[in-house]
Amino acid sequence: MLNFNAVRIPLQKITDPTISSSGVNLYVLRLDKTHPHISGNKWYKLKYNMEEVKRQKAEVVLTFGGAYSNHIAATAAAGKEYGIKTIGIIRGEELDENKNPTLRFAKECGMQLRFVSREEYRKIKIDPANYPIAQSPNYYIIPEGGTNAPAIKGCTKIASLIDIPFDYVCCACGTGGTLAGITISLKEKQQAIGFSVLKAPGYHKEEIIKWLAHFHIYTSANLHIEENYHFGGYGKHTPELLKFISDFEDQNGIPLDQVYTGKMMFGVYDLIRKNYFPKDSTVIAIHTGGLQGKLRPNPTLPKGEGD
Ligand SMILES: *Cc1c(COP(=O)(O)O)cnc(C)c1O
C-alpha cells in the first residue's frame, strides 16, 4: 500500500560546473524514486484518494486524461496495487492502445479504456456527471490531472521529505495541485516557485490561490509562478530544451522528461544564471517523475535510470 513512512526519498546535490560556480546550493528531491509505477508526485496525489475510495467502498475509480498522461498511468498502477477497478476516459477516438506505451501499460494494469472525441472529452471534463457511466453511485471520480482536495493534502507531505534547511522549492505546474500542497506546508521565509508547463497566463497563480483558501490560507506571499518556460505550450518542446535535458542528464545522471521536469530544470538554471537567487541560498528542485512519458531514453544514463 502507499505508506508515507515506508519511502526514503534521495536528496541529490547538483555539482556540475554551472551550479558549482554559481554560489547557489541546488538539490534535487527525487520523488521519481518513490514508486516504480506510481510516478513521482502522482503517488502523493493518489494516496488519500485511494484511502477515500476504500472508505467510501467505491467499486470503481473513474478518471480522465490524454494518451500520454502520467496521471492515467499512475492511477492504473494504483488501482492494481489496491485491487480497485479503474476506468480511464481517454481524449481521442482514433487511438490504438497497442501502439501507445502509456495506454498499453494502463491496460496491462487492468484499467478499462474508453476513447472519446476531443469535443466530448471537453464536455465530460467540465462536468463528469454528464457522462452516463459516471453517474453510478459506486464510482469515485478523480478529475483530469488528479487534482482535488485529497491530492493536495497528500502533496503537503512533500516538503517534509527535505531534511535540510532550504530557501526555495521549485516544481513544474500542470494543474498546480502539487505546488499548492507544497506551498501550504512551507515555513514563513520559504518560497515556492512554480514553472508553468502550459501557455495560460495567470492560470496557475489563480488556481493555487483558490486551493490555498480551501485549506484556510489567505496569503500567497510565499508563492511565485514563472510563466516563461513553457516552450510553446503543454507537450511542446524545442531543440534547445532537448539539448538542455541531454546535457543535464550527462552531467548529473538524473533523467528528465520534456513535458514537466525538463522545463522546470531549464527554468531553474536560467534563473540561477540571471542571479535570481541570492548567493548561498539553498534551492530544492522537485523531481516529480513522469519518466514514462519521456521522449528518448538517454543511453548514457546509469543503468536503471531513464528506462
Ligand atoms: C502531473 C505532473 C506534474 C504536474 O503536477 P500538477 O499537480 O498537476 O501541477 C508535474 N510533473 C510531472 C512529472 C507530472 O507527471
Q: State whether residue 76 is helix, strand or coil.
A: helix
**Residue nearest atom 4 of ligand 1, based on CA coordinates:** 174
Q: Which of 114, 146, 178 is at the close of a domain?
A: 146
CA distance 294 to 304: 14
Asked if the structure places residue 1 within a domain, the reply is no
Nearest alpha carbon to residue 71 among 104, 96, 50, 43:
43
CA distance 173 to 137: 32
Question: Which pLDDT belongs to residue 236?
Answer: 96
**214, amino acid identity:** H
In the block, cell 480551501 appears at: 214
Local structure of residue 32 (DSSP, 8 states): G
Inform me whether the pLDDT recorded for 2 exceeds 70: no
Q: What is the CATH number of the domain that holds 197?
A: 3.40.50.1100
- With the most atoms of ligand 1 within 8 angstroms of its CB, the residue from 147, 260, 294 to mutate is 260
**278, amino acid identity:** P
CA angle, residues 170, 171, 175, in degrees to nearest 5 = 145
End-to-end Cα spacing for the chain: 24
- CB of 154 closer than 6 angstroms to any ligand 1 atom: no
pLDDT by residue (tens digit) across 207-262? 999 999 999 999 999 999 999 999 999 999 999 999 999 999 999 999 999 999 99
Exposure of 224 by Cβ count < 10 A (0-12 exposed, 13-18 middle, 19+ buried)? middle
- Summarize the confidence of residues 66-88 as an average pLDDT: 96
Question: Which pLDDT belongs to residue 304?
Answer: 43
127 and 154 housed in the same domain: no
83 and 117 housed in the same domain: yes
Count of alpha carbons within 13 Å of 187, Cβ hemisphere only? Answer: 8
Q: Which of 117, 146, 175 is at the close of a domain?
A: 146
Q: Which three cell numbers stand for residue 247?
A: 546535457
CA 195 to ligand 1 center in whole angstroms: 11
CA angle, residues 127, 41, 276, in degrees to nearest 5 = 105
- CB of 172 closer than 6 angstroms to any ligand 1 atom: yes
**Residue nearest atom 14 of ligand 1, based on CA coordinates:** 290
- CB of 41 closer than 6 angstroms to any ligand 1 atom: yes
CA distance 2 to 6: 8
pLDDT over 90 for what percent of the chain? 83
191 and 230 housed in the same domain: yes
Task: Identify the residue with better confidence: 307 or 76.
Answer: 76
Residues 253 and 3: beta-carbon distance below 8 Å: no
CA 84 to ligand 1 center in whole angstroms: 23
Residue 125's domain spans which residues?
41-146
Nearest alpha carbon to residue 262 among 239, 242, 279, 232:
242
pTM score, whole prediction? 0.94
Domain count, the chain: 2
**Residue nearest atom 13 of ligand 1, based on CA coordinates:** 290
pLDDT by residue (tens digit) across 151-201? 999 999 999 999 999 999 999 999 999 999 999 999 999 999 999 999 999
Which is the closest atom of ligand 1 to the Cα of 290? Answer: 13
131 and 28 housed in the same domain: no
Asked if the structure places residue 299 within a domain, the reply is no
194 and 221 housed in the same domain: yes
CA 172 to ligand 1 center in whole angstroms: 6
160 and 268 housed in the same domain: yes
Neighbours of 15 (CB within 10 A): 10
183 and 130 housed in the same domain: no
